[in-house]
Structure 1
Amino acid sequence: MPQMMPLSWLTLFTLFSMTLVLFATMNYYSYILKTKITKKSEIKTNNMNWKW
């Protein structure tokens, strides 16, 4: 198949590798982390007074 000769294995490997990296970075940066904001009154503090 002489038509496929310009697409060598190195070119195809770099093409598929770059698409893998592209999709991995798109999936990593598209995730939005929703942080739960807690107020000062909601934070439980455990005061331990040691009685020697």
Structure 2
Amino acid sequence: MDRLYALRPSAQRVLDVDSSNFETFGNQEGSSYNAHCQDMGFHPLLLFDG
């Protein structure tokens, strides 16, 4: 990213925060119920530099 910003300097940055659901099966450590998706899984937050 440093090389890209050196080519196109910018006074502002766009950060996009999204979540995702990775369905799990059985009793996997760290998984929890997600009511929106109605299943068990991992629900990490992802950060993208736009």
For the aligned pair, the TM-score class normalised by the smaller chain equals under 0.3
TM-score by length of 2: 0.23
Give the helix-richer structure, 1 or 2.
1
TM-score by length of 1: 0.22
Give the strand-richer structure, 1 or 2.
2
**Structure label with greater radius of gyration:** 1
Larger RCO: Structure 1 or Structure 2 (Cα < 8 Å, ≥ 6 residues apart)?
Answer: 2
